[in-house]
Amino acid sequence: MNPGVTELLGQGLAMMVVGMSLVFGALALLWVVIALLGRFGGAPVSDAGKEVSVTVVALPPTAAEAERAALTAERARVAAIVAAALMANAVPLHLEPPPGPTFEHGRSASAWVTTNRARAMRPWQPPRAAA
């Protein structure tokens, strides 16, 4: 005997309740384990109340360090100019739009889009019955 719709819905609801209970039970158990590890598993903090003072003394740069910094800044500027020139020459200038179908706002569709649109289209006539 085939089960009815209400019996199938009841079984599905029971399976869903059991499954969701297991999922949320596992999440609650994981949360408890993490909370316990955070409370009891942490390293003891012994120097929490002590204050430490640090004095930082900045020394003036030497002549060699100042020259090296200036040279590094000059090299960075030259590298930026060369990179910009190479990138400007690497970009192709398409003065004419590529052939193919166009969208409403003027952009043309690629061959990939056109092919997939053609594959997705169905014939407008229904299939004919065999005679």
Sign of CA dihedral 60, 65, 71, 74: negative
Spatial distance between the Cα atoms of 105 and 95, rounded to a whole number of angstroms: 18
| Amino acid at site 85 | A
Tokens of 65: 């360090």
Spatial distance between the Cα atoms of 114 and 100, rounded to a whole number of angstroms: 8
Give a yes or no: residue 34 inside a domain.
yes
The pLDDT of residue 95: 65
Local structure of residue 102 (DSSP, 8 states):
B
Number of DSSP helices (H) and strands (E) in the chain, helices first:
3, 0
Q: How many domains does the chain have?
A: 1
pTM, rounded to two decimals: 0.32
Spatial distance between the Cα atoms of 68 and 62, rounded to a whole number of angstroms: 10
Give a yes or no: residue 30 inside a domain.
yes
CB 114, CB 121: distance < 8 Å: no
Give a yes or no: residue 16 inside a domain.
yes
3-state secondary structure of 49: coil
Find the mean pLDDT for residues 37-49.
70
Give a yes or no: residue 14 inside a domain.
yes
pLDDT band at 32 (very low <50, low <70, confident <90, very high): very high
The pLDDT of residue 86: 83
Find the mean pLDDT for residues 54-76.
81
Q: Which domain holds residue 18?
A: 10-39
Give a yes or no: residue 20 inside a domain.
yes
pLDDT band at 30 (very low <50, low <70, confident <90, very high): very high
